[in-house]
Amino acid sequence: MRPLTTTELLDVWEQGSRRSLLQRSLLLLQVACAFPDAGTVARFSIGERDARLLKLREWMFGDRFVNTANCPQCGEQIEWTVPIEDLRLQPWSRQEGSPTFTLQDGGYEVRFRLPNSEDMALIASLPAYQPDPGKLLADCILRASHHGEECSPDTLPAALLEAINQRMAAEDPQADIRMVLSCPQCACTWEAPFHILSYLWTEIDAWARRILQEVYLLARAFSWSEQDILNLSPYRRQLYLEMIRS
């Protein structure tokens, strides 16, 4: 995986504008990882995918996040800042495969994989999955047996399914990031989920619109091509912009 060039990031932004947030993230990683299609990225676990997005974000926009949230009790808007390291719960893996895990308990042996973006797309597209999270867990179970005899995931006891859920969370901690926030106005404390997908795309969208504005101004002033302008370093672009604005 590597950082995207300015031209690549603009191309991803343009293509992504016609896609869902999940598809945008897969496209971003597909280009960064030089995969021929998004299928490999879609099979990364949620935590692996988000760990890679977190690293891309650090390369592109720095090592700190600044965000806002509204207090659920009094409605006060608060701003919070956090270093990327505080959100990095697992390193991104340099391997492309999807690992599997085994859990043994009470005579049961279950082999399972971690939820991935293909599962998330399925949940979004099939209404049957939305009220029944157990369907997702069943899809992640590759094989189950009881005292050596194969059995259906539907027959597994609830306590075993909960143990699998907990094991998944332990193996893929980046998949569920929550911020503990406190309101200075009313002292309310609450947990807020942090979604790198939406945060990063908001930053990319703002960046792309700013870059296109710079291209427009420089092209109008100097008759340069878009590619010539994008090939300039950000510092040199700013110097030329200062010249035409002075």
SS3 237: helix
**Residue 183: how many other CB atoms lie within 10 Å:** 19
Which one-letter amino acid corresponds to residue 123? I
pLDDT in tens, 23-50: 999 999 999 999 988 889 999 999 999 9
Q: Phi then psi for 144, rounded to 5 degrees?
A: -135, 140
pLDDT at 245 over 90: no
Question: Are 51 and 163 within one domain?
Answer: no
Question: Are 14 and 46 within one domain?
Answer: yes
Q: Does 95 reside within a domain?
A: no
Q: DSSP of 59-93, one letter per residue?
A: HHH-SEEEEEEE-TTT--EEEEEEEHHHH--SPPP
Q: Does 158 reside within a domain?
A: yes
Q: Indicate the length of the chain as a whole number.
A: 246
Number of domains in the chain: 2
pLDDT in tens, 169-223: 999 999 999 989 999 989 999 998 899 999 999 999 999 999 999 999 999 999 9
